[in-house]
Structure 1
């Protein structure tokens, strides 16, 4: 049982129950997922090189919320981030939107998420400039997550930060020492003040009366950067719940498993089927919104400078992490007639595919003319 199977079987009931909450982005995601590998308007065409057999196969939808797609996209992103790793300690700083503001985020997701990125990045840059340990330009990567492990709506941004800075005037890399980067309580105070100011003064958002005085920002030492990057890559492009985590769909209820972040144990959550569908689809992001962003030294435009820093560290004797080669996944299909490999012939539209099939059939016939 997959998420798409459940969605297809209960779509009418879902639409009737959540008609007012379904956004255009959710509608687009639903259409894409239900069309994934079933829509024959565009197909990939394959031909056997050992016998006359040929076949067309529907394409994947490619939507970032689809649990069947984007595996290669995730691997490509992870490979690019690994190439940026430095032989230093890393920290993960997490900025969380308080519960009282999540209603606004649901109604204005693009506005709120963009504001979260802008404000959180400015806080980190200013803290780095004023830090005695850093005092220069830093680099960091931010990833937006909209859920916790129970898949409740819980917008937050994880930032992965290498513990070091670059002094452009002296052309020197300054390595941060110890297991401390920034004070979490001070980060939270500035995060709260700046985000509320941006929402009210710049974006004219109407805020609720009861806003907590204490917000949550977590700053943790995570050792080397690769484990943290792998953690962040889990939910980037393949939906928020892997199909393997869905364990049952019985009597109008769906059960899925998740790992409790506090105890590390695997737990099971059961929801009515329609509520389960909304629990997952509410995390579909607005079209065009970037959920992953690089800042400072980790931006694409700083590649040359980043290579210079890596060279400096290598000359100084630093040991760089060994990066495993990412193997490209090559699509392979075997011929059902002779079991020999089939050759990919291209992607075609429906009319073009029928015409090509007709031509291939005719050209295999003796004395045929087209």
Structure 2
């Protein structure tokens, strides 16, 4: 099946000749083109028993590469399991109107930070209100900038435990379907974002802000998960996702890319989209984040500040078993996921394979 790497390998040079890219976009494109090829070097694994040989090339480890997210995702999830509480969890999505897309894209770092800040303050302030919960909550937020058709669509996914700590250190559980009404969330988020946007960018178009203020912003809340295991699996689907995975690309012929996408406005039906390689590349590179930008953030009792004490209190209050964090090595994690020791010969299964240098990274 065709991959993003194949498209870049054939058309990246032509695209670069006619389009200017940021340094981060250049790095992402070059990394994806080189991922698991001889350009990055590699090694040869040889079985001393049956003589089976298997060459392996190094990964680029770029966070925008469709090939390099599976292991990073599993490593991240494994580290988060110890933070789960024995309570229900909610998935909340905050979006902004499309009229702001151009402004946000031109000021990505500032606007993405502003999105995170407004989401966290909206959830925290409303949860602290005794009218709704009267407690301090924690949540994990993940930034996505794309829609299914690869168009620019910035939004924040939040995973929120159904409760929080009161001022007396007691766990306050939410017995409602969701302790914060969606319409209240939407309007508070809208007001915060537009007010802070106006402060940070005094020259922003006032008519644009007025238009956005008159619209109802979309905040969506899904029903609670069944158990903690579902939360872990669900987290993995969102934390390390890239704009498009290779398995969604159906065809790549004569400079035309065909991929499948889910149309949420049409009963979630799967459809096919046909784009030129140039347009596909343009849409993909729109979602390369600014260098060093943190797209997964933790807040409240899940944030690094005070987490060690507050999370322990939450576990004791919710009857969650205290588990010692166990950091698995790369080999242990792969063995846990696949059920097979990665160094073991796949042919005879008797001996560990010996590793030797295959080629150094090319300049």
Q: How does 1:183-262 map to 2 (within 5 A)?
A: 183-204=181-202, 206-207=204-205, 209-210=207-208, 211-212=211-212, 213-214=214-215, 215-224=217-226, 226-227=229-230, 229-237=232-240, 239-262=242-265
Contact map agreement 2:36 2:57 (CA 8 A) in 1: yes
- Which has the greater radius of gyration? 1
Please identify, of 325-334 and 74-83, the stretch whose mean Cα deviation from structure 2 is larger. 325-334
Q: Does 1:313 align with 2:324?
A: no
Change beyond 3 A, Cα 1:51–1:186: closer
Q: Give unmatched runs, 5+ long, in structure 1.
A: 318-324, 352-370
Question: SS where residue 132 of structure 1 aligns?
Answer: coil
1:126-150 Cα offsets, whole Å, 9 max, x none, are: 1011143421211111011111222
Residues 132 and 180 in structure 2, CA contact (< 8 A), matched pair in contact too: no
Residue of structure 1 equivalent to 2:283:
279
Q: Distance in 2 between matches of 1:272 and 1:237?
A: 26
- TM-score, normalization: structure 2? 0.82
CA distance in 2, matches of 1:93, 1:183: 11
Determine the structure 2 residue equivalent to 1:23: 22
Alignment partners' CA distance in 2, 1:137 and 1:114: 22
The worse-fitting range, judged by mean Cα deviation, of 144-153 and 113-122 is 144-153
* Equivalent pairs, count: 340
| Residue deviations 1:294-343 (CA, integer Å, cap 9, x gap) | 1111224413432332233228x9xxxxxxx9725654475999996423
How far off is 1:121 after superposition? 0.5
**Corresponding residue number in structure 2 for 1:6:** 7
Conservation of the 8 A alpha-carbon contact between 1:89 and 1:162: yes
How far does the alpha carbon of each residue in 1:186-210 deviate from its partner, in whole angstroms, 9 at most, with x for none? 2222212221222221354624623
Change over 3 Å in CA distance of 1:337–1:77 after alignment to 2: closer
How far, CA to CA, are the matches of 1:334 and 1:120 in structure 2?
Answer: 49
Deviation of 1:222 after TM superposition, in Å, equals 2.9
Equivalent residue, structure 1, for 2:173: 175
Counterpart in the other structure of 2:142: 143
Matches within 5 A, 1:56-205: 57-169=56-168, 171-204=169-202
Selected match of 2:307 from 302, 327, 331 = 302
Gaps of 5+ in 2: 322-331
Please report the TM-score for the alignment, with normalisation by the length of structure 1. Answer: 0.80
